[in-house]
Structure 1
Amino acid sequence: MTIEELKKSGSIIFESISGSRAYGLDTATSDTDIRGVFILPKEQFYSLNYIGQINNETNDISYYELNKFIELLSKNNPNLIELLNEPKSCILYQHPIFEKIKKEDFLSKLCKNTFANYAFTQIKKARGLNKKIVNPVDKERKSVEDFCYVRGEKQSVLFKEFAIKNKLNLNSCGLVNLAHMKDCYNLFYNENLNYNGIARKNANEVCLSSVPKTEIPIAVLYFNVDGYSTYCKKYREYWNWVEKRNEERYKSNISHSKNYDAKNMMHTFRLLHMAKEIGLNNEINVRRKDREFLLSIKNAEFEYNDLVSKAEKIKNELDEIYKNSSLIDRPNFKNINKLIYKIRNQFYNNMV
């Protein structure tokens, strides 16, 4: 089922703008995220064609089937529990039946860990993304030959350097497996024989040749297979990231040169502050009153280590806050199951 088909089906019971625009942290270049909840048609729900979630290609738009939505709410998932208190200006549609899902039945002391753990995942992402920013991978892909080495007099020498120094024609090189020595080969050279070279174009392994027994190797060649595999993975990940990255966000990150992704760090503190508010006041404050502070983080006005220290301090405060909180320890699954049944049954009966 596509999003277009879902909208035509009449199955949506809640739809809201979410993310930065709901938090009040959006800028002129911010995307518009949409999250919603739907109830599968009765025939499909009772068949083998259950669908738990429907997204668009960029995951900016996501709809969750009632069962999956309630399941994630019961785990106090930060991204979904905030849908229970979205600003009214952000709500695009709300079926009356959605009002039966109340935050009091789901907000629990689980939020301490779900929000804090998610927050510290953002810290890791803030530095993880930076590795790609400050360590770009050249667009021209390295070849197998770039990971081949020849033993010199006292040290290994890159094969390409060896070939240049000895004025070798690469097409006149031939390799033969060297017994009992993993990834090592006897290197032969003869311009009058039809050797296959070191590796074919775009190949991922060396190329062996048929060599007469009378030929004498000129060196032993080693192919660093692990190094080549690691490089290929890094190359693929980097250029996939380049293809999918948000250019405005990327330009912002490289402009401040603070060695971290400022947007990830902003969301770290949004999550920690929300966790603190939930523990103290039993409230989900989606629209942020700490907007100026959060935007100052997004603008990279702090050093990374200072932000990590601030985050650690808040995380430690959460232990005492939740210890004394009036929140339930965890949602009551017996009551939640009754709620799901009641909502689904009522929705299907009204569809008849």
Structure 2
Amino acid sequence: MIFSQNAEGKFIDILHTTDYDFLKTNPVLNANIIYLTLSGSHAYGTNNEYSDIDIRGIFLNTKKELLTMECSDKPFEHRESDTVIYPLKQIIKLLSNCNPNCIELLGTKDQHVLLCSPEGKLIRDNAHIFLSKYAINTFGGYATAQLRRLQNALARDNYPKSEKERHILGSIQNQMVTFKDRYKEIDNNINLYIPHVNDGDLNKKDKEILIDINVKGYPLRDLKGMYSEMNNVIRDYDKLNHRNSKKDDLHLNKHALHLVRLLIMGTEILQGKGIHTHREQDHSLLMDLRNGTYVLERNGVKDYSEVFNIVDKYEKEFNYAKKECALPDKPDYDAINDLVMEITRHILMK
């Protein structure tokens, strides 16, 4: 395994520690890894002394998988080191859908690319073929999910239940926008709703989110995965709704940071400016958001009004870019298929 000579030395040194031996000893990875890059706060330039090192990457499906048409489409995850490495089959689909967590991997700084084989370079150099108006829903959806988390967290314990349910419903619906990246689509979709309340309904305070779903012959694990994600939104809301510690405030500040970052990155992509993961020009703003500079305290209560004013500014810019976007409606599937075929030829010729 040959690491990039352009990468920052301190990160390469970390990869040589025993914590990352799995990269060399795991038979699924090792020589099959074609791309490794920093992710998270180090990639964005918003890290501090407490930030973990997140690594993401791509590994090739094996020759046997290709010839038997049984390619792995699940990522390799090493939770202890916060490393996720995607198989080629899966990453191509995620990139084609303009998944923000994956698209950003192709726009990291050269110094943050830790390993890049010829196949990895092909993907990185052709990042533009994956960009399309799909970014409107993906970046917009992810940003809205962050906004919902922030709003939910700030809801007070005496907030009306009906309002709480609307917040949770909005969060889950935005999470569902990304389900197609990970799960088989359900033909008739999943319908979440809060029943209409009549003025004379004595039980209107007890109205809660309901679900309509009708599936037949659907993968059980996919259904379980979707249910778990929806349940996590409710669980996270309940946790945040009772926050009272400094640690929780730091989490809220990170939500605000990522919300604005997603809007800025999404706007640039929609404007045809490409993928710029490291936010050098926005560094001061993003770090101020992370550090809570715009959060005021009035009578012992945290006031996020200025944060929401900043969000509103970048949301307007995103919406304008959305209207004026000249990107194609869909990614360049012909070019993507050509890219995959070229990489596949490399694998079969080894």
- Residue 278 (structure 1) aligned with residue 269 (structure 2): yes
2:115 to 65, 90, 93: 93
Letter in 1 for 2:282: D
1:114 to 124, 138, 141: 138
1:52 to 67, 71, 74: 74
1:293 to 285, 293, 297: 285
Deviation at 1:285, TM superposition (A): 1.4
Letter in 1 for 2:256: M
Deviation at 1:119, TM superposition (A): 1.1
- Residue 103 (structure 1) aligned with residue 127 (structure 2): yes
Letter in 2 for 1:261: L
In terms of fraction of residues, the more helix-rich structure is 2
Task: Label 1:103 to 1:42 Cα distance change in 2 as closer, same or farther (>3 A).
Answer: same
CA–CA distance in 2 between the matches of 1:344 and 1:130?
Answer: 49
What residue is the counterpart of 1:215 in the other structure? none
- Amino-acid identity (%): 29
What residue is the counterpart of 1:27 in the other structure? 48
What residue is the counterpart of 2:30 in the other structure? 9
> What SS class does the counterpart of residue 86 from structure 2 fall into?
strand
Q: How does 1:261-276 map to 2 (within 5 A)?
A: 261-276=252-267
1:253 to 239, 248, 264: 248
> What SS class does the counterpart of residue 26 from structure 1 fall into?
coil
Deviation at 1:310, TM superposition (A): 3.2
Deviation at 1:33, TM superposition (A): 0.4
Aligned residues between the structures: 238
- Residue 76 (structure 1) aligned with residue 98 (structure 2): yes
Retained in 1: the 8 A contact 2:272–2:327?
no
More divergent stretch after superposition (273-282 vs 320-329): 320-329
Retained in 2: the 8 A contact 1:282–1:327?
no
CA–CA distance in 1 between the matches of 2:157 and 2:79?
Answer: 24
Task: Label 1:251 to 1:95 Cα distance change in 2 as closer, same or farther (>3 A).
Answer: same
Deviation at 1:83, TM superposition (A): 1.5
Deviations 1:90-137 (A, max 9, x none): 111000122222122112222222112101211222344567999xxx
CA–CA distance in 2 between the matches of 1:347 and 1:35?
Answer: 21
CA–CA distance in 2 between the matches of 1:329 and 1:262?
Answer: 34
Letter in 2 for 1:329: D
> What SS class does the counterpart of residue 261 from structure 1 fall into?
helix
> What SS class does the counterpart of residue 13 from structure 1 fall into?
strand
Task: Label 1:64 to 1:8 Cα distance change in 2 as closer, same or farther (>3 A).
Answer: closer
> What SS class does the counterpart of residue 76 from structure 2 fall into?
strand
More divergent stretch after superposition (331-340 vs 312-321): 312-321
CA–CA distance in 1 between the matches of 2:346 and 2:48?
Answer: 41
Gaps of 5+ in 1: 135-232, 243-249
Retained in 1: the 8 A contact 2:63–2:347?
no
CA–CA distance in 2 between the matches of 1:86 and 1:17?
Answer: 8
Larger radius of gyration: 1
Deviations 1:209-250 (A, max 9, x none): xxxxxxxxxxxxxxxxxxxxxxxx99x958x979xxxxxxx7
> What SS class does the counterpart of residue 30 from structure 1 fall into?
coil
What residue is the counterpart of 2:334 in the other structure? 334
CA–CA distance in 2 between the matches of 1:295 and 1:6?
Answer: 40
What residue is the counterpart of 2:221 in the other structure? none
What residue is the counterpart of 2:150 in the other structure? 126
Letter in 1 for 2:321: I
> What SS class does the counterpart of residue 35 from structure 1 fall into?
strand
What residue is the counterpart of 1:325 in the other structure? 325
> What SS class does the counterpart of residue 271 from structure 2 fall into?
helix
Q: Which runs of 4+ in 1 moved over 6 A?
A: 130-134
1:40 to 52, 61, 64: 61
Gaps of 5+ in 2: 1-21, 159-230, 295-302
> What SS class does the counterpart of residue 115 from structure 2 fall into?
strand
Deviations 1:26-77 (A, max 9, x none): 0000010000001121113436472421111268210011111010111111
Task: Label 1:309 to 1:241 Cα distance change in 2 as closer, same or farther (>3 A).
Answer: closer
CA–CA distance in 2 between the matches of 1:6 and 1:30?
Answer: 30
CA–CA distance in 1 between the matches of 2:335 and 2:272?
Answer: 23
What residue is the counterpart of 2:316 in the other structure? 316
CA–CA distance in 1 between the matches of 2:145 and 2:113?
Answer: 28
CA–CA distance in 2 between the matches of 1:301 and 1:133?
Answer: 25
Retained in 2: the 8 A contact 1:266–1:294?
yes
Q: C-alpha root-mean-square deviation of aligned residues, in Å? A: 3.2
Retained in 2: the 8 A contact 1:6–1:12?
no
Q: How does 1:172-251 map to 2 (within 5 A)?
A: 251=246
Task: Label 1:133 to 1:72 Cα distance change in 2 as closer, same or farther (>3 A).
Answer: farther
